[in-house]
Amino acid sequence: MFEARPISFHLAPRVILERLGSLAADRPRVVAITGPVGAGKSTLAALLSACVVPTDAYLPDYDLVAPGERDLPHHADFPRLLSDLRSLLSRRETRIPVWSFQTHKRVGDTPRTPADVIVLEGIHALHEPVLPLLDVKVYVDAPRDIRWSRWEHIERSGQRGMGVEPAREFFHGVAEPTFSRFESLYRARADFIVSNDEFRHGAGA
């Protein structure tokens, strides 16, 4: 049975890029990074490539979905996500959605320039529809208290604009219980399990 390789957050960029370098370079390669809220997915993604596609961009408008279902994968826009990834894999500049953490809805599009390494990061990055497009699969983990501390810092510094108390309610009432339903499945699919158990400003998403 396949067992994921555990690595530290510090070593993760080098190890993942080395794995990519061992693959044939006939097309761009896709790294998928998942993990619970505040684990450090977006921080790791930015260390791997300038071409990052966040699954958050494909979330539904929250006012159209019951609060407890807002992060469930069957509400995400996977058809658009798959179309955008295939476009980037064809080395075409692609416009991906912009999802606002202030208004909790899609507010437009933004260009994404293709690169040799494309990173898909977010809570749905290892869900079934995208698996055929992935070359390396990563699960980032961190203790719950550290993850909440990172998110709290983000909200107190005004980086997202949800506010500390609404964010706390969402973290404990929606994000954590929703992701826990898929945690074991995503862990089992990962090539690497990255441990990110130190509190660092800017390591929260």
Over residues 157-200, the pLDDT tens digits come to: 877 777 889 889 989 999 999 999 999 999 999 999 999 987 65
**Which structure tokens are listed for 189?**
């699919």
CATH ID of 9-18+30-195, from 3.10.310.30, 3.40.50.300, 3.40.640.10, 3.40.190.10? 3.40.50.300
SS3 percent helix, strand, coil of the chain, rounded to 5, is: 40, 20, 35
Which tens digits make up the pLDDT trace of 108-128?
999 999 999 999 999 999 999
Query: What pLDDT, on a 0 to 100 scale, did the predictor assign at position 157?
Result: 83
Q: pTM of the prediction? A: 0.92
Is the model's pLDDT at 151 over the cut of 80? yes
**Which structure tokens are listed for 22?**
């061992």
pLDDT: is 5 or 25 the higher one?
5
Helix H segments across the chain? Answer: 12-21, 41-48, 78-89, 144-156, 164-170, 176-180, 183-189
Domains of the chain, residue spans: 9-18+30-195
Q: What average pLDDT does the segment 92-117 reach?
A: 94
Which distant-in-sequence residues (6+ apart) come within 8 Å of 205 by Cβ?
37, 38, 40, 41, 42, 43, 154
